[in-house]
Structure 1
Amino acid sequence: MEKVYFIGAGPGDPELITVKGQNIIKDADVIIYAGSLVPKEVLGVNKKGAKIYNSAKMTLEEVTDVMIKNIYEGKKVARVHTGDPSIFGAHREQMDILEKNNIEYEVIPGVSSFLASAAVLKKEFTLPNVSQTVICTRMEGRTQVPEEESLDKLASHKCSMAIFLSVHMIEDVVEKLLKHYEKNTPIAVVQRATWRDQKIVEGDLGNIVELVKKSNITKTAQILVGNFLGNNYSKSKLYDKYFTHEFREGMKKEEL
């Protein structure tokens, strides 16, 4: 029996899908893709005769029914998610249904939009003596957030943060962040990172609301906040000429 492949298609740029994910799409008999966020160019390598379904208008049951029917017919199924399916991908519930039907599946990771956003900003989340922790979260909307994970509580750590699915509530986001971050803390909003129509807005917690509204960004955007967006940090020990590790002997200062 064939199996279902859950594929992270990346953030938008069709070239940012993994080679493994692309190869599976090339060979799949059935492709179910998240049409609201996955560009059709990602599917441009599909073989002739492959059946393609856009899950944007489908329910969970409709999606899994297509999977189950085609797997029982001996067909290979590619379930294509945006970014990486493990982050706000809603693929766990699909996998559970497949397990109940004794259908094998595999997950192919992808590049998440929070990583793509850092890339287009040319920033590093984990700068020495600035932040060594990254929090990925969202504001509560129609999907509830556990009370202990509320944005203002997470902000108390003052580490690097990537906030998903929340730009339409940017005023509320900033209000909660200001309970712990200083007003001059840098913040960036990246809409549709790596897409051709990508937008980038950079500012601080004092002016980002105005900048976002002026840019008319209301959805499909990452909010990145933290001092990792600034320019003050310590250099890594990894390449420090005085630092010894298993691959390199560090120099002594008197040797210079």
Structure 2
Amino acid sequence: MISFVGAGPGDLDLITVKGRKLMEEADLVIYAGSLVSQGHLKFCREDSTAMNSASMTLEEVVHAMEEAFKNGEKVVRLHTGDPTIYGAIREQIRELERRGIPYQVIPGVSSFTAACAAINREFTLPGVSQTVILTRMEGRTPVPEREALENLARHQSSMAIFLSVKEIDKVVGKLAKGYGRWDVPVAVVYKASWEDQRILLGTLEDIGEKVRNEKIEKTAQILVGDFIGEQFHRSLLYDPGFSHMYRSEKG
């Protein structure tokens, strides 16, 4: 069995219990060494094998998994955050299916939720936003025109932007065009949940300068939207004047 496991955003304790157990049982762990904390490897058995996929091709990764499976070994493919978000697992899954190799996907804590937790906020605030958009700037990997940042920003939803902090000025320009204003709250969280985590708070007007001053060029989440601000409605869930199947109206 091949297990695609989300390692979480950085903090070793933010991997799931199921993911940690699979790490402890694995014969082979193939991990994304450029992003995943190597601290996770200390939970592996001493006789297990670890391979850093940072310099490997898709074909090499799949070959290693196939050989281990043929030898009756348990394999963990360890991805950063949650493997279902920018994890490039679908192409690996396709190759495993072609070979008739069984697999499973174990979710993990994503960097976008870790970043929101780091600033003590909630993406879905009553009266502000009930939608979260996860996206990125176009780079070497293109983005469909319908998903351009300026188009997504017009929805005024909460946004988490991955893999884009190096182009912060372009990001800001596109967002301002979509929002039609420059006072939109922004948070940039560098290495969310890691020991060297840094948080920058500002607006579309000044966040670019703050990012440049801190020389942040990678491994950061850009969170955008009025959910970062202080204005929102009280939730009906705990409102005494609102009844539901577990509570009658009080008042």
TM-score of the pair, normalised by structure 2: 0.99
CA RMSD, aligned part only? 0.6
How far off its partner does 1:78 sit?
A: 0.4
Deviation at 1:123, TM superposition (A): 0.4
State how far apart, in whole Å, the 2-side matches of 1:36 and 1:110 are: 17
Q: Deviations over 1:106-136 (max 9, x none)?
A: 0000000000000010000000000000000
Partner of 1:204: 203
CA distance in 2, matches of 1:222, 1:109: 19
Structure 1 portions without partners, runs of 5+:
none
Secondary structure of 1:235's partner?
A: coil
- The equivalent residue for 1:46 is 44
Residues 31-80 of structure 1, C-alpha deviations (whole Å, 9 max, x = no match): 00001111011121101210100001110000000000000110000000
User: Aligned-pair distance for 1:93?
Assistant: 0.4
Matches within 5 A, 1:26-45: 26-45=24-43
- Tell me the residue number matched to 1:5: 3
1:184 aligns to what? 183
Amino acid at match of 2:190: Q
How far the C-alpha of 1:250 sits from its partner, in A, is 1.3
Partner of 1:165: 163
Percent of pairs identical after alignment? 54
Partner in structure 2 of residue 76 of structure 1: 74
What residue in structure 2 maps to residue 249 of structure 1?
248
CA distance in structure 1 between the partners assigned to 2:118 and 2:213 by the alignment: 21
Aligned to 1:98: 96
Q: Secondary structure at the match of 1:80?
A: strand
Aligned equivalent of 1:193: 192
Counterpart contact for 2:152–2:178, Cα < 8 Å: no
Q: Match for 1:22 among 12, 20, 23?
A: 20
Q: How far 1:180 sits from its partner (Å)?
A: 2.6
In the superposition, the TM-score normalised over structure 1's length comes to 0.97
Task: Give the Cα separation in 2 of the matches to 1:206 and 1:194.
Answer: 26
Q: Unpaired runs of 5+ in structure 2?
A: none
